[in-house]
Amino acid sequence: MTGEIGRVALPQRTVDSRLIVVARAQRAEDYDAVLDVLIDAGIRSLELTLTTPGTFDRMPHLLAQYGDVVDLGVGTVTNAADLARAVEAGASYLVTPITSAAFVRQATDAGAAIVPGGLTPTELFASWSAGASAVKIFPAGQVGPAYLKDLRGPFPDLVAVPSGGVDLDGASAWLTADAVAVSVGGPLLGDAFAGGDLVALRDRAQAFVEVCAR
């Protein structure tokens, strides 16, 4: 999705899967056991959040272990230094909860895909017109899939990823409303990072993969 403003496309594997799982762990050392299950269940795009201590330090290991089969993005990017470090670490894409044309320019100049967050039409259009790869409608649970249909009127080319409160039924509805992908956290992960049942996690992940499959 490259255009006159130098837009960097989202990774094709993420686009094809139509599902991004937000992995928010207590410690970076906790990623592996959960990621093993998610990837085995068919998850192909994961957002590792910077609210998890040690994420950057863990990235080389995670990329070596999983990088051939899954896109590993870095999320909760809230400053320019972390954005630069995420690019240097080899993140497949960047996600920020805020609207920042400066972040979009910094990522695009580095050749990195970026998905900035926003809720209002003004915020979403500002990021899109700055060259974002896609925009994150956040918190999506406050508006619902019909909101994206409304946005299509003034912004027919907008590429959107809803995030925040997207459950299984919501994933189907948002994708039907033409979201490029859905970003899912708690409704899929549940208590997996707190010692929860990994068999149940696999079942939830497989259900989301099935719903999001083309």
Residue 3: the pLDDT is 43
Residue 2: the pLDDT is 39
CATH class of 12-212: alpha beta
Residue 4: the pLDDT is 56
Residue 5: the pLDDT is 74
d(CA 86, CA 203): 31
Low-confidence ranges of the chain (pLDDT < 50): 1-3
List Cα–Cα distances, 142 to 84, 93, 212, in angstroms. Answer: 31, 25, 21
Delimit the domains of the chain by residue range: 12-212
- Asked if residues 39 and 69 have their Cβ atoms less than 8 Å apart, the reply is yes
3-state secondary structure of 13: helix
d(CA 78, CA 210): 32
d(CA 113, CA 100): 14
Residue 94: the pLDDT is 98
